[in-house]
Amino acid sequence: MKFGKLTDIKAVDFTLPDDPSSNQVTWDQASKTSPRKLYLGCTGWSMKEWIGKVYPKGSKAKDFLPLYTKQFNTIELNTTHYRIPDLATIQQWRNQSAADFKFCPKVPQTISHSRDLGLNGSQLRVFWDMIEGLEEHLGCCFIQLPPHFSFAKLEQLRSFLSIWPSSIPLAVEIRHPSWFQDSETQARWLELLHQHQKSAVITDVAGRRDVLHMGVPSTTTMIRFVGNGLEPSDYERADSWLQRLQKWFESGLETAYFFPHQPDNILAPEMTAYMASAARQIPNIQTRGPELSEIPGDQLSLF
């Protein structure tokens, strides 16, 4: 992910901000008995560089998806941003997935980057119909609003959220600086998401600390964590996130999707494995992550 990426991070303060006061509204209304689930995954499975580390030696491209779902329990599905998959592809993805695996599809750019967020076209309905075919493997969709989508378009976002089906979980990623100009502005759009029971994507990236808003308007959150090649600070930041997630889970958060980004996606499994190992120390959390080691070719059985 190039957004907010810096080559020199020495001067960056990676401290997680305090929670906004609006989070307490979510916690006050949350169930305290629902299972707490942490999903950890990468941004793609077509990585030949993972053979022998994530996938067994000798693995073929056709085996990557089922092998990926055996190692990870979710994926940030960016391929849907570029085209809406057909039903046959959806069925293939569903049938090749481990039982607890969740896809988090990105809303197509023909919708997110259109003038009207797809409100007057047919693409939204086509997208909904297709991704609902994932059935129990559908996690949380997310829409990445374009850099020019400013706070002046709040009402357009309201209209979009009002027609989004309640059966399809959605998280909204906002990038334009105007949404973060002050606490009152931020509170307004977090309240809008809360009213519609939608989530807010939280992005932790070196060059744009304003998008690290820490708002949790629903009991599901999505975090996009941009690392810097497994620098020591990556692990320190991961530890801070685990502490914050534990606090949120204890307060009422039910589901968190956490996606570690690393350059070219090559080292993302290492960070995911680190997070999964540490998260197992959090009481009452359901999670799993990859077991990375030298994987011989005779361990190709999938499930």
State the pLDDT confidence band at 301, using cuts at 50, 70 and 90.
very low
DSSP 156: H
Could you give the CA distance from residue 72 to residue 107 in angstroms, rounded to a whole number?
22
- Predicted confidence (pLDDT) per residue in 259-278, tens digit: 999 999 999 999 999 999 99
Most distant CA pair in the chain, distance: 58
Determine the pLDDT at residue 293: 74
Half-sphere exposure of 243 (CA within 13 A, CB side): 11
Distance in angstroms (rounded) separating the CA atoms of residues 121 and 114:
10
CA distances from 136 to 82, 139, 171, 198 (A): 23, 8, 18, 19
Question: What angle do helix axes 268-279 and 232-251 make, rounded to 10 degrees?
Answer: 40
Give per-residue pLDDT as tens, 125-183: 999 999 999 999 999 999 999 999 999 999 999 999 999 999 999 999 999 999 999 99
Nearest to 25 by CA among 199, 218, 256, 173: 218
The answer, yes or no, to whether residue 298 has pLDDT greater than 60, is no
> Is residue 109 classed exposed, middle or buried when 0-12, 13-18 and 19+ CB atoms within 10 A define those classes?
middle
Q: What is the pLDDT of residue 296?
A: 47
Q: Using the predicted structure, report yes or no on whether residue 299 has a pLDDT greater than 90.
A: no
User: 250-259 pLDDT, tens per residue?
Assistant: 999 999 999 9
Cα dist from 208 to 14, 200, 205, 211, 234, whole Å: 11, 16, 6, 6, 16
Contact 16, 244 (CB under 8 A): yes
- Can you tell me the distance from the alpha carbon of 201 to that of 224, in angstroms, rounded to the nearest whole number? 7
What pLDDT digit, counting tens, does each position of 187-218 carry? 999 999 999 999 999 999 999 999 999 999 99
pLDDT on residue 32? 82
Amino acid letter for position 209? R
Residue 286, H or E segment:
strand 285-286
For residue 240, pLDDT beyond 50:
yes
Q: How far is CA 210 from CA 15, 203, 291, in A?
A: 12, 9, 34
Write the CATH number of the domain with boundaries 40-282.
3.20.20.410
The CA distance from 224 to 295, in Å, is 28
Cα within 13 Å of Cα(96), Cβ side: 17
Give the tens place of pLDDT for each residue, 84-96.
999 999 999 999 9
Domain boundaries, the chain: 40-282
* High-pLDDT (> 90) share of the chain, %: 91
3-state secondary structure 71-134: HCCEEEEHHHHCCCCCHHHHHHHHHCCCCCCEEEEECCHHHHCCCCCCCCCCHHHHHHHHHHHH
pTM score: 0.95
Contacts (Cβ under 8 Å, ≥6 apart) of 12: 6, 206, 207, 209
